[in-house]
Each structure stands twice: as structure tokens, then as C-alpha cells.
Structure 1
Amino acid sequence: MSTQRETDRDTEPAWLLVTRREVVSRITDRSFLFGTAFMVLLIAGFIGFTAWQEDRSEDATLAATPEAVAMATAIGDGAPQVDEDLTITLLEVDDRAAAEAALTEDEADAWLHPVDGGWQLTSESSLQDSLTTVVEAVVRQQVLADNAAGAGTTVEALEEGSAVTTDFLRGDAEQAAVADAVGFVFVFLFYFAALVFGMQLASSVIEEKQSRIVEIIAAAIPLRHLLAGKVLGNTALAVIQLLVYLVVGLVGLSFTPYKSFVPALSGPTAWFIGFFLAGFVALACLWAVAGSLASRTEDLQATSTPLTMLMLVMFFGGLSLDGRGQVIASFVPPVSAVVMPKRILAGGVEWWEPLVALGLLAVFAAITVWVGERLYRRALLQTGGRVSLRQAWSAAE
């Protein structure tokens, strides 16, 4: 049985052997597993905290002297119409001294009392935001109703024609907020994966080159197979990790007040995975080239600077671009890998636009792999010092 397994392994393509080695060595590495588990816990914790915040109700105690009891009662009754998460309890006190004592001893959150020209809400030392908002709204409505009755009319008549409504060309405000948040997650995950896996890929290339192990490997398999195995192995790991994060995020989101948006996020998420795959392959190949141009670990910062700058452009471009600039960037590789998924999330994208953008990104990835493979092969075995791009391109095979 073991002989058959060894025979099958001998007949496998070299790139597949390298891919398996990259995946197995990393997926059994404790730092990789702990890092993934930590990120999963971070995502789950953030979603859990968000759900708790959304479902959390707030209680407030409002102190009122005898002349303010009627208004305080109206505030307590009208609070649910202004803020459904706030419950107001009335605390009747005899006079100003009793009200101040209730605030000092934390028996009340605020004290309502009349002043010249209106009402005043006094708290101990900090502003009660939710309570203040409710009090302002209810007091205004109550006083307006009393004034209208005194003038022989109604509040509705006084407010006729003053209503302001809102509308959106696409979706609604809550949907737009969710799209912005998920778009940020898409951009961050791409940047994080490309940077972490790219640096590790480049470092492994340098280690093999510096220890001269690559010369032994080159005698056994073609260098293009070594490059393909490294790129595919790291791509597989990055996609696996990405899928774990996305599944945890979508499942966690289904337990929050935003669960109704989960079905609508499934399509953009699938598109993001496709754009991530094409964009990551291109960048992974460039990271391998950055490693092959260096002769020691200290050289990596210099050889990877252009690539790092490109990733920063992608990150900040994905977050800040909007309007016509965003539309144009969504078709320009490799920035399109993060910009087009954000446009899909926002809605209003024609069906052919993601297909064209993904096709252009795939072409860019293919060209990058072809150029990167030539640079990688010609720079990898040069150990006399840091190799420039011109030297690598013109070097003999």
C-alpha cells in the first residue's frame, strides 16, 4: 500500500508537490492556527457586542417637584414614541433640595423643573443624551399642544405643510450603512491577507535562496513549478482563511438586528471571493519576485517597497474613492479587486460591469504571472547581492 502511495507521489506534477508542502507546513503551524482562531474570536466578539448594543434597553429616573409632575408624567408616557429603547421612571420630590439630594445620591438621573421661558433638565455632572432627546421632543410637543388649544386651533393645523420626508435613489439609510461597513471589511480582509501571506511568501523565498537550498530544488524541478506551487499554496491558504472569516461574519450577522440583510449580502460576497482570488494570485506572484530579488532578509524592505505602496493605494483607494472616480477605478486592475465589490454592495451596478471588471483583472493576473515567472526564474539563483528588476529581466537563463 505504501509502495503504491510512493509511486503516485512520484508521478505527481512538481508544482502540486510544492503546493501540498506549502499548505501542510502552514496549516499545521501553531502561529497560523492561533492567528486564525484569534481573528475568528475577534469577529464573533465584535458582532456579539454590536448585537448586544442594538438590543440593550436603557432605564432613566426623572425627578420632578410638584409643579413639574404633570409634565414629567407626559414625558414618561411619550418616551416610547421618541426612543423605544428608553424607559423613564418618575420620582416625585418635595422641593429643590430634595431633587438635588436625589441627583447627588444617584437616586435620579436628572431633575425636571420649570424656569423662565421654559423648562430645565438638571443632571448631577454629565449630560444624559437619550433622556435629554426625549424630554426636548415631548416637552415641545406638549407645550405646542397647550398653546394651540389656547389659540383655539390644533397642533395638526399649526404643523400643516411642515413635514419633511426622506427618500433614497437606492435602498435606504440602514442598508447603505450596512453596505459601507461590509465594504470596509472586504477592503481590510484583502489588504490583510495580501500583506500577511505575501510577506510570508517572500520570506520563504529569501530563506531558501540565502541557505542555497533553492539550488538543490532547482536541480530536481523546474523553477516555474516551484513558483507555481508557492503561489497556489499560499492562495489556497488565503482563500480558506477568508472563507472562514466570511462564514463566521455572515452567520454572526444573522443573530443581529441586521439579519434581514444577510441574503442580500450573499451575492456581493460571492463576487468578492472571485475578485479576491484573481487579485491575490497577481500580488502573490509579485511578492515571490520581491523575495527572489533579495539575497538576504534585510533586502526585502527595499525590494518590496513598490509592492507595499501599490497595496496602500488599493487600501485607501478602496475606502475613499466615490462617484465617478470609484466607477473608473472599479475597472482598473488591481484596484478593481476591492473597488468593484464595494460598488456591487452599494447597488446600481449593471450586470455586465462585474464581468468586465473581473475579466480585466484576470488578464492582469495572467500578465503579472507571465512577467513575474520570468523575473523569478532569472533572479532566484543570483546570490551575489540584491538584484534589480532590469538585471533580472535581462539575465541569461
Structure 2
Amino acid sequence: MSSVPSTQREAGWALVARREIVVKITDRAFLIGTLVTLLLIGGLMGYQVWDAGRTATYTVAATSDVRPVADRLASDAPSLDEQVAVEVDAVADDAAARAAVRSGDADAWLHRGDDGWVLTTDSEEKGALTRVTQDVVRDVALEEQAADLGTTVQRLRAGSTVTTALLRGDAEQSQLAGGVAYAFAFLFYVATLTFGITLANSVVEEKQSRVVEIIATSVPVRQLLIGKVVGNSVLAIAQMLLYAGVGLVGLSFTPYASLVPGVGGPVAWFVAFFVAGFVALAALWAVAGALASRVEEVQSTATPLTFLVLAVFLGALLVTGTARTVLSFVPPFSAVLMPTRLLEGDATWWQAVLAFALLLAAAGGVVVAAERLYRRSLLQTGGKLSMRQAWSAPE
């Protein structure tokens, strides 16, 4: 390797990175997968916009004796639930009401039962209509009871109301934080696993076909690793930025539009944490490929990495309390948990800087160790190697 000119040594990793990028962006499966994901994100955002502005109109059949309550239901429904509207279908008797529901001319039939009111539907309960009807009937019953007792509804209800409060933020911000946190974890999981497996397979395929022996005569093994990691990292980061951009644009058209400016900072932190975490894991995926001698062995050599990535994903979703706070400083869990805590307003800027510094330090150590393992195992063709064997193998 000492005969390789210094200029070629310096350019070797860039050539490998360019090749990795070109191969990937011309791969139909990769392009289709990226397009499908963008369509899913766009579709989800479109559904949020549609659902937020959707009003469900229900037709309720009612006979003359319950018409006052049915009319009250129609007038009060929008104030109880802005996505529910009620129209009253006046029918002659109970038989006509049943026929209207069975034929689909009415969604429900409101009538008195033995000990209260009944909302009869055909084959499935109308959840939103049921909740609104319960509120209206409860109000009517209270008004009747208050009149009988010579008092008011307000006095009967005194001390019975329950309000909600959040220690941090508001309800919409909490809901948005939960959704974006899941997106962070899912994107990190999918990108790391997808690009990682592709990288490992690429390494072992070149090794199995002996192509790597030819490449190694022109490009130092160390630069070959750097090129593969850089190439796949550039692709993964570009894909994440594309997804994040589409997601933020989509959010601006949803009821959460006013909260989008507050999401930008945590998203930027997530990208930074993603870069550091992905680079470290990409180096380990390359090692998983180098330890194997055949494609069939990659599943075995990559098993620890697969479980690690899965642990990060599940940890981001399931861990709570003090354990969540501690893990947000522990690489690679911090790659997802710290941006999530920033989004939730549960972490300060200096905590993010500390977690990022720890992640960078860990990533640097992992890359150095991975480089030694990769360099000492890539040209070994005597079968699958363990990490201990690769670590002590001769240069």
C-alpha cells in the first residue's frame, strides 16, 4: 500500500463515497421507497387537515313527544362538539322511526326507555353522536329536576366540575410533542436499520466476490471505510432532511400551525444528533459486513446492532421518568431522547450541548475502534470472524 500516491490516498474516500451515493440514487427500490414515504407523510398531513375541518352530520328520528329534546340536541350539538351536527327527522310513531333507521334515512332514533333515554342505531354505535346526546339529555334532566326542587341547574352543579391543567405547555403542544417524538424515533430506527443493512451487505458482497482485494490495491482500507460511511451518511441525512422538511410544511396547514416555529429548534437538534449517532452506527454496520465472509452470515454478525437499534427505538417510546432523563445523556439513546425532551420542554440548552458532546465523544471512539476491526477483518476470507478475532488479527 505504500506505493499508492498521496494524492490518490487523499481522494480515495471521496471516490468511494461518490460511488456509494450514485449507486443508491440510481437504485429504483431506494427511489420508490423514498417516494412512498413522502407520500405517506403528505397523506398523513392531508388527513389531519381534512379531519380538523370535517363535520359529521347525523339525522335523528324523533316522534312528537320527544321532539323538544331532539330540537335541543340539534341546537346544542355544535357547541358541545364542533365536528358534530344534528338534523331532526320528525316521524309519526315508533314503527316509522325504526323503519327510518333500518333504511338509512336516519342515523339514530331518540326515544324514552324504561328508566331514561335510548339512542337506537342500526348496526353500530355512533360514538360522537352518543357523547353529545348524553350531554344534552343530562342537561335537560338537570333542568327538570331543578325546576321540581325550586332551584337552579347552576346550584345543582356547584362544586361538581372538573378542569384539567398541565404542568408544562398546553394540550395541543403536548399532543404535537408526542407525535413528533414518535416520528424522531421511527425515522432514526428506519434510517439506521435500512442504510445499515445495505452497507453491511455491500461490504460482504465485495468481500465475497473478491472485488475488495482489487479495490484495496488502489484505495487504502481505512479510506474505503471512510468513503462508505460518508456516502451512506450523506444519503441518510439528505433523506431525513427531506422528510423533516415535508413534515414541517405539512404541519403548517394543520391545526398545529401556530406551534410549528417551536418545533424547528428541536428538529434542528434532532438532525445534529442523528448525524453523530448515524455515523457511529454506520461504522459498526460496515464492521458487521467485514466480519462475515458470505452474505448469509451478515444476519449473525449484525444481530447485536439490530438489537441495539431496536432498543433505542423502544426506549424512546417506553422509558419514562428518571430513567428517560438519564438515558437522554447515554449514547446512542441520546440521539433520539434528548431532542424529544427539548421538544417537550423538559430539557435545557446546556443539557442538549452536554448530551451532544458525549455523543460526539462516543461516536469518535466507536469510529476509531470500528476502523481497526474493519481494517483487520476485511481481507480475511477464512470464514466468519468474531470481534475478538478481528481485533487481534494481524494487519
Quote the Cα distance in structure 2 between the aligned partners of 1:36 and 1:136. 46
SS in 1 for 2:37: helix
| 1:230-269 correspondence to structure 2 within 5 Å | 230-269=228-267
| Percent of pairs with identical residues | 53
Cα offsets for 1:9-64 (capped at 9, x unmatched): 96962111211111122122222211111111111112212221222110111111
**Is 2:77–2:85's contact at 8 Å kept on the other side of the alignment?**
yes
Give the letter aligned to residue 193 of structure 1. A
Secondary structure of residue in 1 paired with 2:97:
helix
Residue in 2 that maps onto 1:180: 178
Give the equivalent residue in structure 2 for 1:107: 105
Q: How does 1:49-128 map to 2 (within 5 A)?
A: 49-128=47-126
Aligned equivalent of 1:317: 315
Q: Distance in 2 between matches of 1:262 and 1:350?
A: 19
Aligned partner (choices 339, 343, 366) of residue 345 of structure 1? 343
Gaps of 5+ in 2: 1-6
* Count of matched residue positions in the alignment of Structure 1 and Structure 2: 389
Q: Output the CA distance in 1 between the equivalents of 2:226 and 2:271.
A: 20
Give 3-state SS (helix, strand or coil) of 2:216's partner.
helix
Q: Is this contact kept in 1: 2:142–2:153, CA < 8 A? A: yes
CA shift, 1:195, in A, is: 0.6
Q: Which moved more, 1:351-360 or 1:92-101?
A: 92-101
1:282 equivalent in structure 2: 280
1:132 corresponds to: 130
C-alpha separation in 1, matches of 2:81 and 2:330? 46
Give the letter for the 1:186 counterpart: F
Deviation of residue 365 (structure 1)?
0.4
Q: TM-score, with normalisation over the residues of structure 1?
A: 0.95
1:373-384 equivalent positions in 2, closer than 5 A:
373-384=371-382
Q: Which residue identity does 2:101 align to in structure 1?
A: L
Structure 1, unpaired ranges of 5+: 1-8
Could you tell me which amino acid in structure 2 is paired with residue 93 of structure 1? V
User: Which residue in the other structure is 1:6 paired with?
Assistant: none
Report which stretch shifted further, 11-20 or 106-115: 11-20
Quote the Cα distance in structure 1 between the aligned partners of 2:300 and 2:49: 44
Amino acid at match of 2:326: I
Q: Does 1:191 align with 2:197?
A: no
1:330 to 2:323 alignment: no
User: Which residue number in structure 2 is paired with residue 204 of structure 1?
Assistant: 202
1:146 paired to 2:133: no
SS of match in other structure, 1:219: coil
Q: Report the Cα distance in structure 1 between the residues aligned to 2:122 and 2:19, rounded to whole angstroms.
A: 65
C-alpha distance in 1 between matches for 2:197 and 2:83: 47
Instruction: Report deviation, 1:362.
Output: 0.4
Specify the SS of the correspondent of 2:187.
helix
* Match among 168, 179, 185 for residue 170 of structure 1: 168
Letter in 2 for 1:246: A
**CA deviation vs aligned residue, 1:313-332 (integer Å, no higher than 9, x gap):** 11111111110010010011
Indicate the residue corresponding to 1:293 in structure 2: 291
Moved more, 208-217 or 233-242: 208-217
Superposed counterparts of 1:378-393, under 5 Å: 378-393=376-391
Structure 1 residues 11 and 360: CA distance shift in structure 2, 3 A = closer
* Alpha-carbon contact 2:377-2:390 (below 8 Å) kept: yes
Equivalents in 2 of 1:309, 1:132: separation in Å?
Answer: 45
Aligned-residue RMSD, C-alpha? 1.4
Supply the AA of the counterpart residue of 1:75: L
CA distance in 2, matches of 1:204, 1:173: 46
Contact 2:61 2:110 in 1 (8 A): yes
Which is further off, 111-120 or 53-62? 111-120
1:171-209, CA deviations, whole angstroms, 9 ceiling, x for partnerless residues? 122221211111111001001011111111111111111
Secondary structure in 2 matching 1:62: strand
Runs of 4+ off more than 4 Å: 9-12
Q: Which residue number corresponds to residue 18 of structure 1?
A: 16
Q: Is the 8 A contact 2:41 2:246 kept in 1?
A: yes
* 1:213-228 matched pairs, under 5 angstroms: 213-228=211-226
